[in-house]
Amino acid sequence: MKKNSSMTVHSLLTLAWILISLYLAFIFAPNEANQGNVYRIMYIHVPCAWSALVGYTVIFAGSVGYLWKRSQFADDLAYAGAEVGFIFCCCLLITGPLWAKPVWGVWWVWDPRTTLTFVLWLLFVGYLLLRTFFVNPAQAALLSAVVGIIGFVDVPIDYMAIRWWRTQHPQPVIMGGPDSGLPPRMEIALFTSIGAFLCLFFYLLRQRLHMGTARRDLEQLRRGETATEF
């Protein structure tokens, strides 16, 4: 019952936070001088980006835990992080072009940030395909853990891409240096949105992790049932 009530609290907190962030994004935050209303896509695009990067970081942490300690929980955590992170990465790659088209005039450019984000998406896909198509669960866990650790190289490079290189993608507005930043109301709206999406990410992660653990219990019970039949 404790887990159920904590999930209920988490879901209500997430919902409230999302509603507040929507209010801030559409009502509180001012219009942008050059882009007009369309810039408000930032209040879902940037949070999706953060959540996708956190998602792969969860894969990395779980993969290290699995390879180091052969922890089933760590493996379940990595798989859960992959699935939930993939969803946020898809939303990131959907909102990006929807923002780019009216502002840049094109749906996509292959600059360092966008390319590395696409690579991140491919890493999520690769990880999930390995988990789905390897019949032997131990083999799947091992290979996925290797992909989870090696693929993590993309995360810091993707994050730093707009700082290291001149890109079509906008320069950072968070911790970007002396000339970067947003007006205060936009900043409040953005940080609230990032918090809301991370809250949603961890809620979905907990749900998915709980499901993964239940699936593992089911498989163990099935194996036990089959063994007693023989």
> Which residues make up the interface to other proteins (CB under 8 A)?
31, 34-38, 40-41, 44-45, 48, 87, 90-91, 94-95, 98-99, 101-102, 200, 204, 207-208, 210-211, 214-215, 217-218, 221-222, 224-225, 228
Q: At what angle do helices 154-164 and 42-69 cross, to 10 degrees?
A: 140
Per-residue tokens: 75? 């493996």
Nearer to other proteins, 41 or 116 (CB): 41
Nearer to other proteins, 36 or 156 (CB): 36
Nearer to other proteins, 12 or 94 (CB): 94
Nearer to other proteins, 156 or 224 (CB): 224
- What are the Cα distances from residue 175, in Å, to 55, 138, 171, 183, 190? 21, 41, 10, 14, 13
Contacts of 111 (CB under 8 A, 6+ apart): 165, 167, 168, 169
- Compute the least distance from the CB of residue 66 to other proteins, in Å: 22
- Compute the least distance from the CB of residue 52 to other proteins, in Å: 13
Sign of the Cα torsion 218, 222, 228, 229 reads: positive
Nearer to other proteins, 139 or 220 (CB): 220
- Compute the least distance from the CB of residue 25 to other proteins, in Å: 9
User: In whole angstroms, what is the distance from residue 46 CA to residue 108 CA?
Assistant: 17
Nearer to other proteins, 168 or 213 (CB): 213
Nearer to other proteins, 41 or 74 (CB): 41
Q: Give the three-state DSSP class for 36.
A: strand
**Which residue in this structure is represented by tokens 């198509």?**
133
- Compute the least distance from the CB of residue 31 to other proteins, in Å: 6
Measured in whole angstroms, how far is the alpha carbon of residue 221 from the centre of its chain? Answer: 32
- Compute the least distance from the CB of residue 80 to other proteins, in Å: 10
Looking at the DSSP bridge assignments, the partners of residue 32 are 36
Contacts of 149 (CB under 8 A, 6+ apart): 60, 63, 64, 67
Looking at the DSSP bridge assignments, the partners of residue 36 are 32
- Compute the least distance from the CB of residue 87 to other proteins, in Å: 5
User: In whole angstroms, what is the distance from residue 88 CA to residue 53 CA?
Assistant: 9
In the chain, at which residue ranges do the beta strands (DSSP E only) sit?
none
- Compute the least distance from the CB of residue 23 to other proteins, in Å: 13
